[in-house]
Amino acid sequence: MTTTRTRRRTVAVAIAVALGLSACSTTSGPGGGGTGEQTLRYAPGLFPVSLDVQQYPAEEAVQTAAQQVLEPLVELKDGVPAPLLAEKWTNPDDRTWVFTLREGVTFSDGSPLEAADVVASVQRLIDLEGPLKPVLESVTSIEATDARTVTIRTSSPLGTLASTMSLVFVGPAERVGQDDFWKKPIGTGPFKVESFAPDDKVVMTRNDAYWGTKPALSRLEFVNYPEVSARLTALETGEVDVTNSIPPDQVAAVSDKDGLTYETKDGFTYYFIWFNQNRDQFKDAKVRQAMWHAVNVEETVADLYGDGATVAKSPVTQSVFGSTPLQPYAYDPARAKALLAEAGFPNGFSTSIQWPREGGPNIKALAQAMVSDWAKVGITVKPLEKERAQWLKDFGALSWDLNLQTNTTGTGDADFTLARLYTCAAKRMGYCNPELDKTLMAARASLDQSERKKLYAEADAILWKDAPGIFPADLKNNAAVRDSVKGFELPPNGRPTFKTVSVATGD
């Protein structure tokens, strides 16, 4: 079977090359392939450390780049799963999902998309045991029933599988397991990778074999500007066409500039500070609650973010399905000191907090404000700002005391965050509450959205009381775009696609 499949791919590639040699080098108009010479330069607030979206499926920067090239079976439209590489799916029973692939879809090298590619991509994601493992934990088998049919079976009902599949990006079965493949991945998406230079640039070109509407852009570049000021200057001078994650104190630099459009929208991104409960001082919930009471969240969020953020009222943002408004922890240093004394730390203690450089708007200032507040109740916290690659390594190894970062509920459903990060099996920071597990698993299994919402309200309340982390702020997404750019949309997950974007090439 492998030999036949390889031959089919070889023939398909040869045909694609032949067609490419005889094709015209330009195409016409947006929606029909563009002018052939449109280039857009995007300077993201976070630059991808890799293009391996299976190894880093929850990393905003990695997904934003990779999703221009690779596609999942399902996409989310207004939070609802919609067909993409799968034209439909059915549930023969509550533990079986059958996805039917679109006909005529090829990878950018001309080889056909087949069910085996989906199986290999999902299986590698599971085998890597990365951030998405918990949401796929009940999957017992993935089978290519035929060339266009994928059957997934689960050990228990999994009502969230369709939305989760929106984060499973598909590559060729023979290559997705090879590390070299991810340096220049091949997908079915509207663009293909020309080059990737870590910490510098990702260059993509239009995939003229794309099965959907061809993008207007002929070239798409992700460029890295580590300094915000340099990024905004590049936008103003025209070296960059689009940027995002603009810190609140820099918004004035772009919001009233001629030739630029600034926009902001509610989204799925928020800040959190986790406690590593493998450390003795954080095992007692009273200590965690004390540290939350010790920080003046309301004043800090107002000072640092203005209209760009709101004080969090839940472990996920209010835009996410399953988020329930709760009363924020009051700023109460006296209460914090009393809780510390009850937990056996009347004189406080020393610890440290890590965060990734350029990890989110005003992240360093946020860390410094909290460090200052903690010092007032006797807790000395050493600040550790790290390069993103080092931070990722230490974060995964649990080599930290406190961890500050942003996070995005990728599917817009609370399950993606709560059941992925806070179950006992997740082992993300030493937190475990069997009551929470039971509630989250019931919410995951149910196909009744009203029942799920009720269960998530219970889960939100448990997490708020247990305080495995401090949840200071829900961030709004923002972007600044040159007026020559048309069709750009800012999605709730903060991860834009560019297949519908065009750039005016004349005055």
Block mean pLDDT (10 aa), the chain, length 507: 40 40 34 64 93 90 96 89 96 95 97 98 92 86 97 93 93 95 97 95 97 97 94 95 91 90 93 98 98 98 93 96 95 98 98 92 95 98 95 95 94 92 92 97 87 95 98 95 96 92 80
Question: What are the Cα distances from residue 189, in Å, to 77, 176, 479?
Answer: 17, 15, 23
CA dihedral 316, 319, 324, 328 (to 10 degrees): 60
pLDDT for the residue 32: 40
Place of tokens 């992925």: 420
> Which single residue is written with the structure tokens 């040159």?
482
Segment holding 435, helix H or strand E:
helix 434-445
Is 31 in contact with 213 (CB distance < 8 Å)? yes
Q: What is the pLDDT of residue 266?
A: 92
> Cα separation of 239 and 233, whole Å?
8
Given a contact cutoff of 8 angstroms between Cβ atoms, the answer to whether 380 and 350 are in contact is yes
What per-residue confidence (pLDDT) applies to 199?
86
Task: Classify strands 402-408 and 349-356 as parallel, antiparallel or unpaired.
Answer: parallel
Instruction: Specify the pTM.
Output: 0.76
Under a CB-based contact definition with an 8 Å cutoff, are residues 308 and 460 in contact?
A: no
Q: Identify the pLDDT of residue 506.
A: 59
- Asked if residues 208 and 33 have their Cβ atoms less than 8 Å apart, the reply is yes
Residues 6+ apart with CB under 8 A from 386: 354, 355, 356, 357, 394
Q: Measure the CA dihedral 178/181/186/191, to 10°.
A: 150
Query: According to the model, what pLDDT value does residue 505 have?
Result: 73
